[in-house]
Structure 1
Amino acid sequence: MKTLQSTLLLLFMPLVMPAPQVQQDSRVISDYGTDPFEETLFSQDYEDTYLDGRNIKKKETLMLTDEKSLQLQNDDISTPPPPKRENDEMPTCLLCVCLSGSVYCEEIDIDAVPPLPKESAYLYARFNKIKKLTAKDFADIPNLRRIDFTGNLLEDIEDSTFSKLSMLEELILAENQLLKLPVLPPKLTLLNAKYNKIKSKGIKANTFKKLNNLSFLYLDHNALESVPLNLPESLRVIHLQFNDITSITDDTFCKANDSHYIRNRIEEIRLEGNPIVLGKHPNSFICLKRLPIGSYF
């Protein structure tokens, strides 16, 4: 019986004995992993040995990406931007306010007329810094009916600026620096150019002759030496106060050779503030229903 146990013990001993060796190996591996310096060396060695090929590809990809990015940046720097066209400026209806055919560009310090929507009928560009108007400003805007440039710095207006605006009825150029009037459109009913520097030589003889719809004319506070010629029969209100008018004649408002002629439509003529004594020209008002406002001595 003892012999049998000894034999079995001998048979199983090789299977049991290696166990301590496994524990020792585990301890060694565990100890190796706990040293940060050695772990770093192991990681570097593993990456250099087994991942070298893949790392090279990754590095090459990164380098190519960087080169492309650098090239794009260089292209952006070296390629100049395209020249800005006038129509590329800020859209008018962001700069101004557009509402049902009306464009409001008031007090925004613009120094030129912005491109207007083609359907514009009313333009209010008051209190800005516009110095000049040209025909190009309104070339493609045929439906304009009212234009207001009150309180700008206007010194010059090309003759053809408004002449082709066949629908224009009201033109307001008050409080500017104008020395003369441009050619006016045929359907104009109101012209307001008060508080400028307009002299009589700045108004052509036929400026008002064909304006058969003109009802309101405001030229007060200018530098006129005489009443404009050929004032149309349609006029209802004429403001010429505070100019340099020194005299009037029998043909200024009436017709000297026609004692039956009466200007029925005129409701108001203002001439006060001029160096003229209206009492010296009684026959100049014989066709009027109301005497002009001014001094009578």
Structure 2
Amino acid sequence: MKTAQSILLLLLFMPLTEPAPPTQQDAPIIYEYGTENFQETKFGQDYEDKYLDGENIKEKKAMIIPDEKSFQLQKDETVTQLPTKKESDEMPTCLLCVCLSGSVYCEEVDIDAIPPLPKESAYLYARFNKIKKLTAKDFADMPTLRRLDFTGNLIEDIEDGTFSKLSLLEELILAENQLLKLPVLPPKLTVFNAKYNKIKSRGIKANTFKKLNNLSFLYLDHNALESVPPNLPESLRVIHLQFNNITSITDDTFCKANDTRYIRERIEEIRLEGNPIMLGKHPNSFICLKRLPVGSYF
């Protein structure tokens, strides 16, 4: 009887104590959870590897600490680019002078020669320096120049080919130098200023101004001219020849002796004061002018 009761109790409690086998749904859940942990761990490891391995440590340091190697990181957009050869070639001029929007200002810096200029230069102001000579090499590769100002230097000589390639040059100022003669001038000049030099008439060739059809302002005052330069172009509006050594003029100096109807339309001012000449003795020399020259008539 006791044996039968024991067996009955055992049969009743067996379903409660027997462990249930794992179902098919439990396995993917455990596997997916484990996979996510694995991916997170792998991502963290990759992140650490990226910044902690030896090669990338160097890369990271190169991005932070500027040294010679940092300039070799071409893919790093934050690295400052090295100056190009053109910029480095121009650097001495623009450190000594001031370079701004095509203009170069080299005033009162005691240079004795023309420094290398930026290729795009249009205006050069080199006033009050110690330049003694200008050569063809000075502007050989500078076709963009439009104005040159050398006021207050010590220029004694200018090679004939110095300005020959400056096809755009409009203003040339050589005032207050030591010139004895004039070079060949570029064809598009509108202003030429060589006052306060030592230029004599023999230092100006007969055709120096003849083909300058754009020349409007000519300043040759305070020199040593014995006569008015020949073949002055029709385009001239202002001619300053005061305080030279001009002793005489002819009917062909400003007008045309054989053409009484000829009028020099554009002339607005001619200054001849301070010369050893009595303008009143040459009345036919001004017959084509709308205004008489400034000077002594009596």
TM score, norm. by length of structure 1? 0.70
Q: Aligned pair 1:107/2:108, yes or no?
A: yes
- Displacement of 1:163 in angstroms is 1.7
> Does the 8 A contact of 2:90 with 2:116 survive in 1?
no
Identity of aligned residues (%): 91
Match of 1:174, SS state, is coil
Aligned residues: 211
Residue matched to 2:268:
267
State the alpha-carbon separation in 2 of the partners of residues 207 and 135 from structure 1: 18
Instruction: Return the letter of the residue paired with 2:201.
Output: S
* 1:27-46 equivalence runs, <5 A: none
The code of the aligned residue for 1:260 comes to R
1:90 deviates by 6.2
Structure 1 position 89, deviation (Å):
9.4
Which amino acid counterpart does residue 229 of structure 1 have in structure 2? P
**RMSD (Å), alpha carbons:** 1.1
Q: Which residue of structure 2 aligns with residue 171 of structure 1?
A: 172
2:285 is paired with a residue whose SS is: helix
Is the contact made by 2:173 and 2:194 (CA closer than 8 Å) also made in structure 1? yes
What does the per-residue CA deviation read over 1:180-208, in whole Å, with 9 as the maximum and x for residues that have no partner? 00000000000000000000000000000
Counterpart of 1:152 in structure 2 is 153
What secondary structure sits across from 1:136 in the alignment? helix
Q: Distance in 2 between matches of 1:258 and 1:118?
A: 49
- C-alpha distance in structure 2 between counterparts of 1:284 and 1:247, whole Å: 10
Partner of 1:41: none
Which residue is equivalent to 2:162?
161
2:221–2:243 Cα contact (<8 Å) kept: yes
Please state how far the C-alpha of 1:131 moved relative to its aligned partner.
0.1
- CA pair 170-89 structure 1, distance change in 2 beyond 3 A: closer
- Does residue 1:224 correspond to 2:260, yes or no? no
Please tell me whether the aligned partners of residues 180 and 198 of structure 2 are also in contact (alpha carbons under 8 angstroms). Answer: yes
3-state SS, counterpart of residue 127 of structure 1: coil
Please name the residue that 2:58 is paired with.
none
Question: Which letter does structure 2 place at the counterpart of 1:172?
Answer: I
- 2:139 match: 138
1:111 is displaced (CA, Å) by 0.2
Q: Which residue does the alignment assign to 1:68?
A: none
The residue type equivalent to 2:143 in the other structure is P
The verdict on how the C-alpha distance between 1:90 and 1:119 changes in structure 2, with shifts beyond 3 A counting, is closer
Q: Secondary structure at the match of 2:124?
A: strand
Partner Cα separation in structure 2 for residue 231 and residue 187 of structure 1: 15
C-alpha distance in structure 2 between counterparts of 1:264 and 1:212, whole Å: 14
C-alpha distance in 2, partners of 1:156/1:231? 23
In the alignment, residue 160 of structure 2 is paired with which amino acid?
D
Partner of 1:116 in structure 2? Answer: 117
8 Å CA contact retained: 2:196, 2:223: yes
CA distance in 2, matches of 1:277, 1:152: 34
**Residues 88 and 169 (structure 1), Cα distance of their counterparts in 2 relative to 1, 3 Å cut:** closer
Q: Which residue of 2 aligns with 1:207?
A: 208
Q: Deviations over 1:108-167 (max 9, x none)?
A: 000000000110000000000000000100011100000000000000000000121000
1:89-100 matches, within 5 Å, as 91-100=92-101
Provide the secondary structure at the position in 1 that maps to 2:239.
strand
Mark the runs of 5 or more structure 2 residues left unpaired by the alignment: 1-87
The aligned runs of 1:178-197 (5 Å cut-off) are 178-197=179-198
Q: Which entry has the higher C-alpha Rg, 1 or 2?
A: 1
Partner of 2:7: none
Q: Distance in 2 between the 1:110 and 1:193 partners?
A: 20
- 2:126 alignment partner in structure 1: 125
Question: What residue identity is the alignment partner of 1:185?
Answer: P
Report the CA distance shift for 1:163/1:88 in structure 2 as closer, same or farther (over 3 A).
Answer: closer
